[in-house]
């Protein structure tokens, strides 16, 4: 093979590899940097029951508001220190005085769950006020609240 043909073959292989990477790279970045939750921009009036069911009015893909609900008790737990724990379950039985609080800034607002949860130390039980930024774990999918476990996937590279 002449030097010119070898250079052309090497350049073609390099350009082909570069083209494949340029096509795949946006997909890999989206998987690695996926956005977690974020239901507050399209949902209003969230409310929580003592059983741990969250209801809200959320926009669907046509910008129509509709009522939706999700059982947070299936997705949030409470540890022995009285902390709310995402991607767990059973907080409704261990916590009381559940509230949804809207955190407001000049650029956006987020929703946070607040509850008084049992804190156990030996035989002594007390109550601790605990919060969890539920906006990180809930998202609005076409007007429906969906739990997003926010587990980041690893890149394929």
Q: What's the mean per-residue pLDDT of the chain?
A: 81
Residues 83, 135 within the same domain? yes
Residue with the bigger pLDDT between 127 and 4: it is 127
Q: Are residues 120 and 44 in the same domain?
A: yes
Q: Is the pTM of this model over 0.75?
A: no
Kindly state whether residues 136 and 74 are assigned to the same domain: yes
Same domain, 57 and 131: yes
29 and 85 belong to one structural domain: no
154 in a domain, yes or no?
A: no
pLDDT digits (tens, 9 = 90+) for 95-139: 999 999 999 887 888 999 999 999 998 889 999 999 999 999 999
Q: Does residue 47 share a domain with residue 16?
A: no
Gap between the Cα atoms of 155 and 26, Å rounded? 11
Q: How far is CA 136 from CA 13, 44, 110, 156, in A?
A: 43, 16, 9, 24
The parent domain of residue 22 ranges over: 1-34
CA dihedral angle for residue 125, residue 131, residue 136, residue 138, rounded to 10 degrees: 70
């Amino acid at each position: 093979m002449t030097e010119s043909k070898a250079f052309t073959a090497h350049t073609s292989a390099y350009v082909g590899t570069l083209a494949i990477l340029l096509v795949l790279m946006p997909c890999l970045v989206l998987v690695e940097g996926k956005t977690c939750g974020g239901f507050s921009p399209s949902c209003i009036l969230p409310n929580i029951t003592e059983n741990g069911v969250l209801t809200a009015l959320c926009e669907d893909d046509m910008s129509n508001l509709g009522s939706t609900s999700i059982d947070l008790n299936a997705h949030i737990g409470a540890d022995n220190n009285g902390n709310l724990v995402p991607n767990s379950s059973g907080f409704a039985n261990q916590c009381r005085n559940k509230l949804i609080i809207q955190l407001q800034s000049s650029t956006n607002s987020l929703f946070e769950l607040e509850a008084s949860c049992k804190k156990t130390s030996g035989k002594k039980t007390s109550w601790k006020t605990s919060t969890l930024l539920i906006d990180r774990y809930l998202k609005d999918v076409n007007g429906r609240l969906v739990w997003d476990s926010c587990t980041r996937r690893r890149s394929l590279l």
